[in-house]
Copies of this chain bind each other. A is one copy, B any other.
Amino acid sequence: MPIEIPDVVIDRLPLYYRLLTRLEAEGRGVISSHELGGELGVTPAQIRKDLSYFGRFGKQGRGYSVQRLAQELRLILGLNRRWRVVVVGIGRLGRAISSYPGFEGQGFDIVGRYDANPAVAGTSIDGQEIRDARHLEADLSAAPADIGIVAVPAEYAQDVVDTLVRGGVRAILNYTPARVQVTANVELKHINPVVFLQSMTYHLKLTARSRA
């Protein structure tokens, strides 16, 4: 077994990757851990340590080749292929997610949109049909997806997640405030703006108002 890589390291890699792709587009050739860290608010040692889990990508005295490092991160993160994503729940939020232009350029193809509301199912968005959520499991059997995005009302979240998992989806991004359960082999992340706001108000409460 190779040494175990901390999850917190994995979570930082997309951050590095995003900056590197920008630098790559700008034609920047080489960058040091110090400069990378400066841009991202991370210490240079942290960046070197994080990268050292995966290999030796830098050159002493020079730094990292932007192009090489971006490519290595693509391989590490599995971004050298396309991923099939289904979105379940096409309300206002699901609609915004489905139409978000940032996914496609990063290799995430939305291959299915589902809603249980009969007034919504059968309609289209961006020229793509919204399928009745009843078809979800059968559709996944016929053409599997890798990732599911859940934007249904909270009370249906667990059901939808169970269906996705039965259908072979191995990663789920849950936009619902409900905490859902999955088996250990499925990746799960929650996005809940209220939770973010509530941890911010803790600090606001402590800070004196800076305005006159």
Contacts and interface: CB of A to CB of B under 8 A. Distances in A.
Contacts of A60: none
B210 A193 contact: no
Given A78-B204, A199-B11, A194 B108 contact: yes
Nearest to A165: B210
Counted per complex, copies of this chain come to 2
A80 B49 CA distance: 43
A102 interface: yes
B40 A79 contact: no
A50 interface: no
Contact of A108 (B76, B191, B197): B197
Given A18-B195, A77-B205, 7 more contacts: A83-B197, A91-B96, A92-B96, A92-B99, A144-B211, A146-B204, A189-B196
Contacts of A207: 170, 185
Nearest to A154: B102
A66 to B, nearest CB: 17
A202 B40 CA distance: 21
